[in-house]
Amino acid sequence: MRDSSFARLHAMIQYKSMLKGIEVVDIEEAYTSSVCPICGGRGEKHMRTFTCPEGHDLHRDIVGAVNIRTKQRTGRIEPSPIPRQVTYRTPVLCAG
Ligand SMILES: [Zn+2]
């Protein structure tokens, strides 16, 4: 995504979140998709799958999301419980 498009998307997310009382926190994404959230090992990515040397196979989006959540909570990437099931919330529709 181009920088100007990303900046505009970021501004819209902040604005819409502010209207709903949701805090937006920026997290540096470096290494969040290459470290196993279960054992902390460096893994390999193939298509949408992540596999670590210990044999943990996970969806890459789950790996990134769990590691970003952990980094926000602890300030670093470290092993953390992963959800057993991923559910999607119905999008919040905002007028305007
Ligand atoms: Zn692992």
The answer to whether residue 95 sits within a structural domain is no
Q: Distance from the CA of 75 to the center of ligand 1, in angstroms?
A: 20
Number of domains into which the chain is organized? 2
User: Could you tell me if residue 89 is inside a domain?
Assistant: no
pLDDT at 89 over 80: no
Distance of CA 51 from the midpoint of ligand 1 (Å): 7
Residue-averaged pLDDT of the chain: 89
Mean pLDDT over 15-39 rounds to: 94
**Same structural domain for residues 66 and 35?**
yes
d(CA 63, CA 66): 5
Cα(89) to centroid(ligand 1), Å:
28
Range of the domain at 41: 31-83
Question: CA–CA separation, 60 vs 83, rounded Å?
Answer: 14
Q: Could you give the 3-state DSSP secondary structure of residue 13?
A: helix
pLDDT band at 64 (very low <50, low <70, confident <90, very high): very high
| Residue 37 and residue 69 in one domain | yes
Rg (CA), the chain: 16
Compute the distance from residue 49 Cα to the ligand 1 centre, in Å.
13
Is 60 found in the same domain as 20?
no
The answer to whether residues 35 and 79 belong to one domain is yes
- Ligand 1 mean position to 73 CA, how many Å? 20
Residues 36 and 79 in one domain: yes
Q: Which residues contact 53 (CB under 8 A, 6 or more apart)?
A: 41, 42, 43
Same domain for 1 and 44? no
Lowest mean pLDDT among 27-31, 55-59, 90-94: 90-94
